[in-house]
Structure 1
Amino acid sequence: MRRSEPRLQRKLLAWLLGPLAILLVLDTAAAYWNSLRFANLAYDRALHEIGREIALHVKLDGARPRLELSEAAANILFVDQEDQIFYRVVGEDGTDLGGDAQLPEARVGKAGKPNFYGDTVRGEQVRMMVAWMPVGPDAGPPLVRVQVAESLNKRERLAWEMVANVVLPQLLLIIMATAVVWFGVSRGLEPLQRLRRAVSDRSHLDLSPIDIHDVPGEVRPLVDEVNELMARLERTFDFQNRFVADAAHQLKTPVSGLKAQIELALRETDLHRVRHSLAQLYISADRLSRLVRQLLSLARNEPGALDSMQLQPLDLNAHALEVSMEWVPQAIKRNIDLGFEGVDHPLMIDADQDRLRELVNNLIDNAIRYSQPGGRVTVQASRIDDAQCRLAISDDGLRIPVEERARIFERFHRLLGTQEDGSGLGLAIVSEIATLHGARITLEEDIDGVGNTFSVFFPLRAA
């Protein structure tokens, strides 16, 4: 069975009207108790008067009391249209003088003061009055014990009439309050209904902010968070669309080249030319593989990828040395002097090890790729102050003009006049990884005036 969804309107009505209903029940119980108490007070006086009338019919026969109650007098005292009345008269010595001998043993109070309490006679709930009363006009002995019991019909009827007079106006007031509260809650939730309709009527492509006009203050933080979420989604979709467009544009040329090389190889009959075509295919496939890796890296390091990062304490000095050692064979192959200058103490930062390796790899690859044979590339790790450290890669490549330095970190931007193959993505990847680490990257001329120096400034990890 499907569970009904929680609704704000239902909860508000329950919290507003529920306490009123509970108060009505408690008030009804209290009103009934008070009404029954007042009914007992009223009818107990009448019950006491009946007992006194019965005592007046007790006469002395010598020294012994005797009850002389005629049938006419009994009809006057005990005939009642709503309730049954029972009585019993007992002398001081315990002798029954008259009445119903089956009345339960009385709980006698002080002499001259009646005692009232609830009891049961023949299976029926009654109100009992017991009192010691004098025989004759004198207040002294002899005394007789008079018991009078009456069923509770009149008392309960009077009590419920009093309860109705008290509770019915309150019930009517609660019904009116329910209608007013229902109307007020419905009107109060109308802005939420308009907000729901505004969202449901939107296209899935519309990520513009929700209009917060006429939005209740309690809901505005939620709408602000939804708007912020939409802004993040819009940025993410923009990144994805841009990535798809860039990937389609960049992959079109190498794939077309591969197809052309394959078609050429298929037409060749000379084995030497076929081998040459296959060598060109290998070079093109290698370039395509590198481009695909860079495109995937670019997508992985888009702004907003912070949730997937694994930030851990890392020694920048040791990490940069380790990565630099991996590039020694490539540097030797190109006749490049690759060196490392570090410090004799750790440079601890919070970093994602894989992404930081990717950053250093791209910077060293870029430096080796664009340096002339016989040149040098220097990787340097140093401490700037107590708050930051620096990773610098210097090369002997062509000097990057000042006017180009602001664009060098843009995607697919390449300097004119360079003969090296490249996609223009390496430095864009470096820039985005640095941003994810809260670092900043700069580009200056090398200190010897030849080549360029890329510097990445990382915040040091707190001790």
Structure 2
Amino acid sequence: MGSREPRLKRALLAGLLAPLVALLVLDTAIGWWTASRLADHAYDRGLHEIAREVALHVHEGPSGPRLDLSPAAAQALLVDQDDRLAFRVWTSAGQVLGGEPALQRLEPAGRPGAAARFASQDLHGETVRVVASWLPYDEAAPARQVLVQVAETLNKRNRLTRDIVASLLAAQLVLIAMACVAVVWAVRHGLRPLEALGRALARRSHQDLSALDLAHVPLEVRPLAEEVNALMLRLETALDVQNRFIADAAHQLKTPVAGLKAQIELALGEPDPARVRHSLAQLYVSAERLSRLVQQLLALARNEPGAVAAVNLQAVDLEAFALEISMEWAPQALRRAIDLGFEGEGRPSSIDADPDRLRDLINNLIDNAVRYSHEGGRVTVKVASAGGERILSISDDGPSIPPEERTRVFERFHRLLGGKADGSGLGLAIVSEIAALHGARITVEDDHDGTGNRFTVHFPPSEAVARGAA
């Protein structure tokens, strides 16, 4: 069976009321003990007085002290409407002068003249209160004493104890009840801000991700509300990313899809096989463009800030990695008669990077360079080191980017006016976002020979990347 759901109100009430109940039980036990002591104190004096009265009936005879207590006098002395009393008298020599044989001898302190001693005994199967006291029986000789014990059942004492405890308990129960009402009210009143917060969230539309008003949120709950606001902000960012991606995809896919439909309609209505083949070739080119656009859109979504999957940083030899990717672009460069070259230092150049994202970065830079360079031009991929940084640069022979446009080329869907090369304007935006994920910076400037552009990515030292990822 599953555990019960935690309830804050129930936990608070239990935590506050349980000690009150425990205190009531403890106070009742202490009250009973105190009341019992008070009852004993009140009736022990009377019991001691009865012992003194019994001692007055002891007289000195020819052979020692004797008890002169008639049955009528004993009945008058020991009569009580609530309890039964019994007595017994001993001489200092231990001789029993009279009284209840079942009453056990109780020495006050082991010697005559000691103070009275009070204790409990069992008499005929019933608990009794007993006083034992050495008392003088001859006024002319105070040293002559007898040990007098008087026992009494506990009816009066128990009744007085119950009356005292009942009066105390009644007041305590009223106080506890008032405290419980106050605790319940305080808990309910204290939880109202939470309930109001819950109602405010329940009334919200799924599209309302605005921050919660913290003006009336208790200080203890404010960290939770602040975390909810932070979550709202993250959700809003993620939804903005998603909505922007959907809008970008819809905008970018609409034109090529419409072109594909038009070419398919043209091919379906064309009787000439040669023209059909030409239309199919155009369809293939358009499909390639569409495929590349979809891949770029997916890459853009994968590397978008706020929608980034975990960056899997690992040691990568930048020089070997860039050389491998450059070789993959050689066939496409040859088709346009572009001289694709590579320059390295001839030694490992390690960086901490996500291999998949680093591949997207280099592919987009080389693709941009090959796409915008004129036929017969030159593209150079170079890896170098400077001041602990690892530097990747790609030079092309394309149209020079004006200084005022060098920042904007990294914006999504931005294309230079007058450019004839086919593109979506996403490649450099993807490069910029991947560089940011790796803590790298990217710059664009004129190439060294004055023709074309040089895109340079500065990767930080491996230790810095590791600290940023930690």
TM-score (norm 2): 0.87
Contact 1:109–1:130, Cα closer than 8 Å, also in 2: no
- Cα distance in 2 between the residues matched to 1:315 and 1:145: 110
User: 1:303, CA displacement in angstroms?
Assistant: 0.8
- CA change 1:36–1:397 in 2 (3 A) is same
User: 1:135, CA displacement in angstroms?
Assistant: 4.7
Partner SS state of residue 366, structure 1:
helix
Q: Can you list the C-alpha shifts for 1:6-46, whole angstroms capped at 9, x where unaligned?
A: 34344444444443443343333323323322322232222
Q: Aligned-residue CA RMSD in angstroms?
A: 2.9
- Cα distance in 1 between the residues matched to 2:264 and 2:189: 72
User: 1:345, CA displacement in angstroms?
Assistant: 5.7
Partner SS state of residue 381, structure 1:
strand
Specify the alignment match of 1:28 in structure 2.
28
- Cα distance in 2 between the residues matched to 1:154 and 1:315: 100
Q: Can you list the C-alpha shifts for 1:83-114, whole angstroms capped at 9, x where unaligned?
A: 23233334556554433323346465322333
1:329-344 matches, cutoff 5 A: 329-343=331-345
Partner SS state of residue 392, structure 1:
strand
Contact 2:314–2:353, Cα closer than 8 Å, also in 1: yes
- Cα distance in 1 between the residues matched to 2:320 and 2:119: 96
1:184-333 matches, cutoff 5 A: 184-333=186-335
- Cα distance in 2 between the residues matched to 1:329 and 1:119: 115
Q: Can you list the C-alpha shifts for 1:402-446, whole angstroms capped at 9, x where unaligned?
A: 232232122222223333322221111112212222322222111
Percent identical among aligned pairs is 60
The amino acid of 2:267's aligned partner reads A
User: 1:363, CA displacement in angstroms?
Assistant: 1.0
Contact 1:397–1:450, Cα closer than 8 Å, also in 2: yes
- Cα distance in 2 between the residues matched to 1:350 and 1:85: 100
- CA change 1:120–1:331 in 2 (3 A) is farther
The amino acid of 1:34's aligned partner reads T
Contact 1:88–1:146, Cα closer than 8 Å, also in 2: yes
Partner SS state of residue 308, structure 1:
coil
Q: Can you list the C-alpha shifts for 1:61-98, whole angstroms capped at 9, x where unaligned?
A: 53254433223322333222332323333455655443
User: 1:273, CA displacement in angstroms?
Assistant: 3.8
The amino acid of 1:229's aligned partner reads L
User: 1:240, CA displacement in angstroms?
Assistant: 1.0
The amino acid of 2:402's aligned partner reads P
Partner SS state of residue 424, structure 2:
coil
- Cα distance in 1 between the residues matched to 2:311 and 2:57: 105
Specify the alignment match of 1:423 in structure 2.
424
Partner SS state of residue 180, structure 2:
helix
Structure 1 segments (4+ residues) deviating >6 Å: none
The amino acid of 1:54's aligned partner reads V
Specify the alignment match of 2:468 in structure 1.
none
- CA change 1:340–1:86 in 2 (3 A) is farther
- CA change 1:158–1:368 in 2 (3 A) is same
TM-score (norm 1): 0.88
The amino acid of 2:88's aligned partner reads R
Specify the alignment match of 2:467 in structure 1.
none
- Cα distance in 1 between the residues matched to 2:266 and 2:277: 11
1:67 aligns with 2:67: yes
- Cα distance in 2 between the residues matched to 1:317 and 1:127: 104
User: 1:205, CA displacement in angstroms?
Assistant: 0.9
Q: Can you list the C-alpha shifts for 1:272-302, whole angstroms capped at 9, x where unaligned?
A: 4443333333222222222211111111111
The amino acid of 1:99's aligned partner reads G
Q: Can you list the C-alpha shifts for 1:309-357, whole angstroms capped at 9, x where unaligned?
A: 2233444344333333333333334332223333466554432221121
Q: Bigger CA drift: 226-235 or 43-52?
A: 43-52
- Cα distance in 1 between the residues matched to 2:348 and 2:174: 80
Q: Can you list the C-alpha shifts for 1:191-220, whole angstroms capped at 9, x where unaligned?
A: 333322222211111112222222222222
Contact 1:341–1:381, Cα closer than 8 Å, also in 2: yes
Q: Can you list the C-alpha shifts for 1:251-281, whole angstroms capped at 9, x where unaligned?
A: 2222233333333333445444443333333
1:99 aligns with 2:99: yes
The amino acid of 2:110's aligned partner reads K
Contact 1:347–1:460, Cα closer than 8 Å, also in 2: no
- CA change 1:162–1:281 in 2 (3 A) is same
Specify the alignment match of 1:55 in structure 2.
55
Aligned residue pairs: how many? Answer: 461
Long gaps (5+) in structure 2: 465-470
- Cα distance in 1 between the residues matched to 2:171 and 2:347: 86
Partner SS state of residue 456, structure 1:
strand
Contact 1:109–1:131, Cα closer than 8 Å, also in 2: no
Specify the alignment match of 2:385 in structure 1.
383
Contact 1:314–1:349, Cα closer than 8 Å, also in 2: yes
User: 1:4, CA displacement in angstroms?
Assistant: 5.1
Q: Bigger CA drift: 422-431 or 253-262?
A: 253-262
1:59-138 matches, cutoff 5 A: 59-91=59-91, 96-104=96-104, 106=106, 109-111=109-111, 112=113, 113-137=115-139, 138=141
- Cα distance in 2 between the residues matched to 1:40 and 1:379: 106
The amino acid of 1:122's aligned partner reads H
Long gaps (5+) in structure 1: none
- Cα distance in 1 between the residues matched to 2:279 and 2:293: 21
Specify the alignment match of 1:397 in structure 2.
398
